[in-house]
Amino acid sequence: MHHNIVALERIHQPLPEFNFASPTTFTLTSYERTDPSELHKRIHNATIIIVTVVEIDAAALSPAVTPNLQLVAVMATGTDCVDLEACKARGLRVVNCPNAGIDTVSEHAISLYFAARRRVVQMHAATMAEPSEWKAKKTLTRLMRFGDGKPPLSCQDEVLGILGYGSLGKRIAHIGSALGMTVIVAARKGAPSATTELPAANKDRIPFDEVLKRSTVLIISLPRTPETIDLISTPELQSMSPYAVVINIARGGIVNEEALVRAVQKGWIAGAATDVFVKEPVEGAQDSPLLGEKVKGLNITVTPHVAWFSQSTIANLSRILKDTVEAWCTGHEINVIV
């Protein structure tokens, strides 16, 4: 069997060196990056596509565009860039690289927590400003106070609520506990309100609405699915503590961006930080309400979807992708999504 492997985005991480057992042979074509206008031509002869974030939609997955396609290998944990239903309907296999960046992403989540709680971006800007308010007033602590004038919380005062308790959520919970936080884990939104009614595996979960009300730190570590789009929006944010900070290191769209900005503006919550956006890459307010002039001065910290980026994650992604694709070629499938 000969496979035409097409890797669409070498920009994110290097590809592994595949070593398929005889009689399997392959040709590997890789691109630094792929624009949507180039996609169909590049994948037309592929039997295997390797993708990270380029959208592989139903049109790209049609037999007319990809007549020879058999496998879509996502060099990431999240598979929301691939139309899984279209793959399922056609009988195409989709695999991913699970847990490659658990340590790095959880550490980034905690770094965003500290940035939001300690208002690092605002304090940096105020310290750099000329004329100097610090010099004139002898202190900048007013910038760190809550709306009621109280100073910020420290870790042992925090209640860390976690939405999404897979490997990433568990790692974040472990770090939060080590920092002295009280950790609570949310049941699915709309799950039975009485803990005794929850499935046995979820006995330690707390009803979704209660987690929102109790949390002073809310960290989102859920996959993006049709069910989790706008999971956190205006009603949820209004129910939260005015001392709370919301941290999203999962996927854009799970937290409604307009609602999040409004919540910080109106003081429903104390601040927010996100590594992810509905539209990526972003450029200014035309792409996201989290950017632009109207959020300047607000306690909102943003990073450009880099929570995963570290030496260990790069090595893990390469190793997992290699093992996963080679296993599929021998009929011993691993890391199967569809």
Task: Tell whether 211 is covered by a domain.
Answer: yes
**Within this chain, do residues 213 and 238 fall inside the same structural domain, yes or no?**
yes
Residue 92 CA to residue 70 CA, distance in Å, equals: 5
Count the domains in the chain.
2
Active site residues: 251, 280, 305
**Within this chain, do residues 195 and 54 fall inside the same structural domain, yes or no?**
no
Task: Tell whether 307 is covered by a domain.
Answer: no
Domain hosting 25: range is: 2-100+312-329
**Within this chain, do residues 91 and 155 fall inside the same structural domain, yes or no?**
no
Task: Tell whether 334 is covered by a domain.
Answer: no
Burial class of residue 85 (count of CB atoms within 10 Å of its CB; 0-12, 13-18, 19+):
exposed
The torsion angles phi and psi of 135, rounded to 5 degrees, stand at -70, -40
**Within this chain, do residues 221 and 241 fall inside the same structural domain, yes or no?**
yes
CATH of the domain at 57: 3.40.50.720
**Residue 193: predicted pLDDT:** 55
C-alpha Rg value of the chain to the nearest Å:
22
**Within this chain, do residues 194 and 262 fall inside the same structural domain, yes or no?**
yes
**Within this chain, do residues 109 and 200 fall inside the same structural domain, yes or no?**
yes
Residue 68 CA to residue 103 CA, distance in Å, equals: 37
Task: Tell whether 278 is covered by a domain.
Answer: yes
Residue 32 CA to residue 215 CA, distance in Å, equals: 42
**Within this chain, do residues 162 and 46 fall inside the same structural domain, yes or no?**
no
- Structure tokens belonging to residue 332: 């011993």
Task: Tell whether 47 is covered by a domain.
Answer: yes
Average pLDDT per 10 consecutive residues for the chain, totaling 338 residues: 97 95 94 97 98 98 98 97 98 98 98 98 96 98 97 98 98 98 96 50 82 98 95 98 98 98 98 98 97 93 98 98 97 96
**Within this chain, do residues 80 and 33 fall inside the same structural domain, yes or no?**
yes
**Residue 191: predicted pLDDT:** 81
pLDDT in tens, 85-107: 999 999 999 999 999 999 999 99
Q: Are 40 and 60 in contact (CB under 8 A)?
A: yes
Residue 242 CA to residue 96 CA, distance in Å, equals: 38
User: CB pairs under 8 A, 24+ apart, for 139-143?
Assistant: 143/119
Task: Tell whether 8 is covered by a domain.
Answer: yes
pLDDT in tens, 281-294: 999 999 999 998 98
The torsion angles phi and psi of 13, rounded to 5 degrees, stand at -160, 155
pLDDT in tens, 255-282: 999 999 999 999 999 999 999 999 999 9
SS (H, E, C) the chain: CEEEEEECCCCCCCCCCCCCCCCCEEEEEECCCCCHHHHHHHHCCCCEEEECCCCECCCCCCCCCCCCCCEEEECCCCCCCECHHHHHHHCCEEECCCCCCHHHHHHHHHHHHHHHHCCHHHHHHHHHCCCCHHHHHCCCHHHHCCCCCCCCCCHHHCEEEEECCCHHHHHHHHHHHHCCCEEEEECCCCCCCCHHHCCHHHCCCECHHHHHHHCCEEEECCCCCCCCCCCECHHHHHCCCCCCEEEECCCCCCECHHHHHHHHHHCCCCEEEECCCCCCCCCCCCCCCCCCHHHCCCCEEECCCCCCCCHHHHHHHHHHHHHHHHHHHCCCCCCECC
**Within this chain, do residues 96 and 115 fall inside the same structural domain, yes or no?**
no
Task: Tell whether 169 is covered by a domain.
Answer: yes
**Within this chain, do residues 85 and 188 fall inside the same structural domain, yes or no?**
no
Task: Tell whether 336 is covered by a domain.
Answer: no
**Residue 294: predicted pLDDT:** 87
Residue 211's nearest CA partner among 169, 257, 152, 178 is: 169
285 Cβ contact partners less than 8 Å away, ≥ 6 residues apart: 291, 292, 293, 294
Residue 252 CA to residue 85 CA, distance in Å, equals: 20
**Within this chain, do residues 113 and 262 fall inside the same structural domain, yes or no?**
yes
**Within this chain, do residues 73 and 122 fall inside the same structural domain, yes or no?**
no
